[in-house]
Structure 1
Amino acid sequence: MPSSVIRTTGADGDFAALRAEFELPEGFLAEVLAEAEAVAGDPAEFAGGRVDATDLPFVTIDPAGSKDLDQATLIERTRSGGFRVHYAIADLVAFVPAGGAIDRESRRRGQTLYLPDGTIPLHPPELSEGAASLLPGEVRPAVWWTIDTDAWGEPERVRVRRALIRSSAQLDYESVQAAFDAGTPPGPVAALAEFGRLRRELAVRRGAVEPQLPEQEIHGGEADGWTLGLRPRNEVEAWNAELSLLTGMSAASIMLEAGIGVLRTLPAPDEATLDWLRRSAAAFGIEWPSGTSVSELLSTMDAARPESLAFYACTTRVLRGAGYTSFHSGPPELAVHAGIGGPYAHVTAPIRRLVDRFGTEVCLAVTAGRPVPDWVRAALVDMPEVMSASDLLAAKVERACLDQVESWILAEHVGGRFSAVVLRADATRAEVLIEDPPVLGKCAGAGLPEGERIMVRLTDVDVARRKVRFERLPADE
């Protein structure tokens, strides 16, 4: 079995060609950098009109090594038996003058792009990794969400204010998971496990659809080579995601009540799609009890089983068609995200995603009883188109990076044999997940058994086109 490590240097080991192919920006214009330097300033300059929340022991939880820290959190138990979630979000409006150079450039980019050899940030690093980032020990302007819930995690009261905060620690998913496993969770998020589990249960009841397909991840660099792995999402990451979802759903409720905003939307699957999904489950030998929703079925499945992986791949079809819906004079016709099981808006990652800055301003204005600023109203008109184009580019770049590393890793192993799980198949070929190294590829062959493990042979690698191809091995080989 070949190693999943590739050792390359120079043009054979970097992503310069891919960056050129997608015409990705290499840096920021001088006027953008000059404006960033001018607005970085002293945090004390932002104190006017803000609540001082620097005494609260917020913490951030992100992948290890992150510098663009959008969110800081603190969870408390209330005397009524519920929870109080404090969620501080980086306040980019404090640093991005409407209509200025940074604003114009961020509207062109839409979001931060993550490549194995470095990011292409939405905002200049002086802001995204410095003055605007919720780094530990630093006073930062933030938008402070305070969400009081009942004992089951359902929100009862939501407040949104501008504040000054100071994160007390920068934590990562692995270390926090280890702390929970050891029974010594960090104090500011000691209630995260209980709250996260409650919110996960609510998500299943709402009908949220979350296929647990393993996520491919690239590690390494030119000196040591690139490696591919599968990144399982640990419990802390899932619980932490529920805080963002709770805030985004609260933001959507504020927008819908006011009749203005921008939502992340996804229509519910039609009956034909659900019928196809039921037939797929039956073909994989997965029992689907009558009256059980897709969400409920997914919550009971073992992600380690090959038939589960194949079903997860099929379930992604339910999630196709996500987009953005802006509205100005009443709720839109499509106001829900079927994958989340309710209305949802992006407001928790403004350093990395453009739309969050404008959604946040809507919520601040509405909850304060003020008109939504004209510059926000104007931006909402084009936001669906801007963000949809940005999402499409981000998805293409991510897939291209994975395809490139896959081809580099396998280039010297044409003719090799691999164990694979068949995810989806048609009359002439199938999509397969190679188990070691973890590679998604196309496999030639008729009647390949979805949801089963097979042996395949690597028949071709085209590094320039980032393509790898397999064929099924006969049973006697």
Structure 2
Amino acid sequence: MTRISARGIDFGAIRTDFAVSADFPAGALAEAEAAVDRHAAGRVDRTDLPLVTIDPPTSMDLDQALHLERTETGFVLHYAIADVAAVVAPGGRLDEETRRRGQTFYLPDGSVPLHPRVLSEAAASLLPDQARPAALWRIELDQRAEPVSFGVTRALVRSVARFDYAGVQADSESGSLHPSIAALPEFGKLRLASALDRGAIELKLPEQEVVADGDGWRLDLQPRTEADDWNAEVSLLTGMCAARLMIDGGVGLVRTLPKPASDAVRALRRTARALGIEWPQDVSVGELLAGLEPSTPDTLVMMSDATALLRGAGYAAFDGTLPELLEHSGIGAPYAHVTAPLRRLSDRFSTEVCLALTAGTAVPQWVREALPALPDLMKGSDSLAAKVDRACVDLTEATLLSGREGERFDAVVLRASESKRDAEIFVPEPAVIAKCAGTPPEGVPVSVRLVQADIDTRAVKFEFDLRASEPAT
């Protein structure tokens, strides 16, 4: 298949439209350049622990490093998280600027970082062969990879190797995984099974990614390997342990998602019946979705419709009285963000709570004072990040398709809109997910005609070609 790419895409216009900039105020940048480890004296030296990192190959903001050991009784996981609170002074100019940003925004031509790169991609990043301050989690697990005990302490750590997902997958298949992650496949599979037992729901929709192609850009579907899933389970486990610590301690910040509405589940069951998918009453949503054949039209439709089950995500802060909703239904357990403090603001504060609760000391006052504002701040930042990401994809779609109005494309109908006047379709080449006028049955391969590809408005629209009974060839 010939991949289509386009030149001259200006992602800078999106930075301007959404007022996101990689530049930092002089005061914030000066603090970052002068930052020192405020907790150096109290750290445990664990540079003997052969931690490794797993990240995209071009990433420099490395938040996490792990070491996983198989034992006679189960597993022992050490998970080092960059100790951002040790280098960002509470109440300073950098603290103020990071609260304004909320998180790192990723665009195809470069990120807009939460922290100046001198910290996020250098002094605080868990780069290989560098001693770094970290919040080091130690989690003991039984034979089923269920946590038995856990806690987090400040430590000095050193990563000994850097891997990416494709490399870990290849090493797993060849039986040559680094000793520090040799147990990761077994651990990951056990944790994925645990997720289904908890009623977790994982959606595996095609995820569009804008990637460089020579001096141009193209749209790909982001590949997801088993190694991605195994590594994700490490972070999810740590986040669940953190949530448990904070709930038991009565202070903290958790990620929440209400249980799916009953009518949404009934609607998904109707979709399954229409597609001829057998769904026994005693099988959970998560189990059904996990058992579907990957990448088939029916699976894409089911995953698209299942997004209705995961609406209403938020954050809950508490200090004393626990909120009514503490669980994240998509994960099937209480869960907290603690594993990406270089890239996400909330993790710095949640980690400080967990460090204090593990040590049996008072949660710092600057953390307690910040907690009430964090849910709204992070919700707004998440919304902006989603808009920036969507705008980059929309702009790339419009640029790739500009000038091809009137052409026919093969597509699969993912789902009809609530108004029943149009549908969402998936075009495999270029990898476009877009609106299309008309409402044929979901999961059906169709021929569609491009009617609009407007670069200025980043709008792409199709319509069903009713004259054609077969997909285009």
TM norm. shorter chain > 0.5? yes
Match of 1:74 in 2: 67
Amino acid at match of 1:14: D
Match of 2:414 in 1: 423
- In 2, Cα distance between the equivalents of 1:214 and 1:270? 24
Structure 2 residue corresponding to 1:47, chosen from 40, 45, 51: 40
Q: CA deviation at 1:107?
A: 0.2
Q: 2:186 aligns to what SS in structure 1?
A: helix
Contact 1:248 1:344 in 2 (8 A): yes
- Residue 247, structure 1, aligned to residue 247, structure 2: no
Amino acid at match of 2:208: Q
Match of 1:439 in 2: 432
- In 2, Cα distance between the equivalents of 1:162 and 1:2? 51
Q: 2:276 aligns to what SS in structure 1?
A: coil
Contact 2:328 2:335 in 1 (8 A): yes
Q: CA deviation at 1:231?
A: 1.1
Q: 1:197 aligns to what SS in structure 2?
A: helix
Match of 2:26 in 1: 30
Structure 2 residue corresponding to 1:461, chosen from 453, 457, 463: 453
**Given the superposition, is the C-alpha separation of residues 476 and 237 from structure 1 closer, same or farther in structure 2, using an over 3 Å criterion?**
closer
Contact 2:22 2:111 in 1 (8 A): no
Q: CA deviation at 1:283?
A: 1.6
Q: 1:414 aligns to what SS in structure 2?
A: coil
Match of 1:56 in 2: 49
Structure 2 residue corresponding to 1:353, chosen from 332, 344, 349: 344
**Given the superposition, is the C-alpha separation of residues 319 and 51 from structure 1 closer, same or farther in structure 2, using an over 3 Å criterion?**
same
Map 1:397-412; keep pairs closer than 5 Å.
397-412=388-403
- Residue 377, structure 1, aligned to residue 373, structure 2: no
- In 2, Cα distance between the equivalents of 1:121 and 1:289? 46
Q: CA deviation at 1:272?
A: 1.5
- Residue 154, structure 1, aligned to residue 146, structure 2: yes
Deviations along 1:30-81, one digit per CA (max 9) or x if unpaired, are: 1111111111x4x7x853111110001000000111100000000001232x
Amino acid at match of 2:164: D
- In 1, Cα distance between the equivalents of 2:436 and 2:58? 37
- Residue 21, structure 1, aligned to residue 17, structure 2: yes
Match of 1:220 in 2: 212
- In 2, Cα distance between the equivalents of 1:26 and 1:153? 41
The TM-score normalised by the length of structure 2 is 0.97
Contact 1:258 1:330 in 2 (8 A): no
- Residue 90, structure 1, aligned to residue 89, structure 2: no
Amino acid at match of 1:464: D
- Residue 317, structure 1, aligned to residue 308, structure 2: yes
Structure 1 residue corresponding to 2:270, chosen from 279, 287, 295: 279
Contact 1:2 1:437 in 2 (8 A): no
- In 2, Cα distance between the equivalents of 1:380 and 1:159? 21
- Residue 263, structure 1, aligned to residue 259, structure 2: no
Amino acid at match of 1:4: I
- In 1, Cα distance between the equivalents of 2:125 and 2:135? 13
- In 2, Cα distance between the equivalents of 1:382 and 1:319? 24
Match of 1:293 in 2: 284
Question: Is 462-471 or 351-360 further displaced after alignment?
Answer: 462-471
- In 2, Cα distance between the equivalents of 1:14 and 1:463? 10
Match of 2:6 in 1: 6
Amino acid at match of 2:69: E
- In 1, Cα distance between the equivalents of 2:284 and 2:4? 38
Amino acid at match of 1:227: R
Q: CA deviation at 1:26?
A: 4.0
Amino acid at match of 2:172: F
Q: CA deviation at 1:384?
A: 0.2
Q: CA deviation at 1:25?
A: 2.3
Q: CA deviation at 1:2?
A: 7.7
Amino acid at match of 2:114: L
Q: CA deviation at 1:330?
A: 3.2
Q: CA deviation at 1:232?
A: 2.2
Contact 1:263 1:346 in 2 (8 A): yes
Contact 1:348 1:356 in 2 (8 A): yes
Q: CA deviation at 1:475?
A: 2.9
- In 2, Cα distance between the equivalents of 1:141 and 1:51? 10
- Residue 132, structure 1, aligned to residue 124, structure 2: yes
- In 2, Cα distance between the equivalents of 1:115 and 1:299? 30
Amino acid at match of 2:134: A
Question: Is 275-284 or 342-351 further displaced after alignment?
Answer: 275-284
- Residue 164, structure 1, aligned to residue 160, structure 2: no
Q: 2:346 aligns to what SS in structure 1?
A: helix
Contact 1:14 1:117 in 2 (8 A): no
CA RMSD after TM alignment: 1.3
- In 2, Cα distance between the equivalents of 1:271 and 1:15? 41
Structure 2 residue corresponding to 1:395, chosen from 383, 386, 395: 386
Q: CA deviation at 1:162?
A: 0.3
Match of 1:342 in 2: 333
Match of 1:413 in 2: 404
Amino acid at match of 1:25: S
Q: CA deviation at 1:23?
A: 1.2
The TM-score normalised by the length of structure 1 is 0.96
Q: Percent identity?
A: 54
Contact 1:255 1:363 in 2 (8 A): yes
Amino acid at match of 1:38: A
- In 2, Cα distance between the equivalents of 1:78 and 1:476? 60
Question: Is 457-466 or 348-357 further displaced after alignment?
Answer: 457-466
- In 2, Cα distance between the equivalents of 1:355 and 1:240? 21
Contact 1:441 1:468 in 2 (8 A): yes
- In 1, Cα distance between the equivalents of 2:58 and 2:452? 37
Q: 1:162 aligns to what SS in structure 2?
A: strand
Structure 1, gaps ≥5 residues long: none
- In 2, Cα distance between the equivalents of 1:146 and 1:50? 15
Contact 2:22 2:113 in 1 (8 A): no
- In 2, Cα distance between the equivalents of 1:26 and 1:212? 31
Q: 2:333 aligns to what SS in structure 1?
A: coil
- Residue 193, structure 1, aligned to residue 185, structure 2: yes
Q: 1:286 aligns to what SS in structure 2?
A: coil
Q: 2:118 aligns to what SS in structure 1?
A: helix
Structure 2, gaps ≥5 residues long: none
Contact 2:289 2:302 in 1 (8 A): no
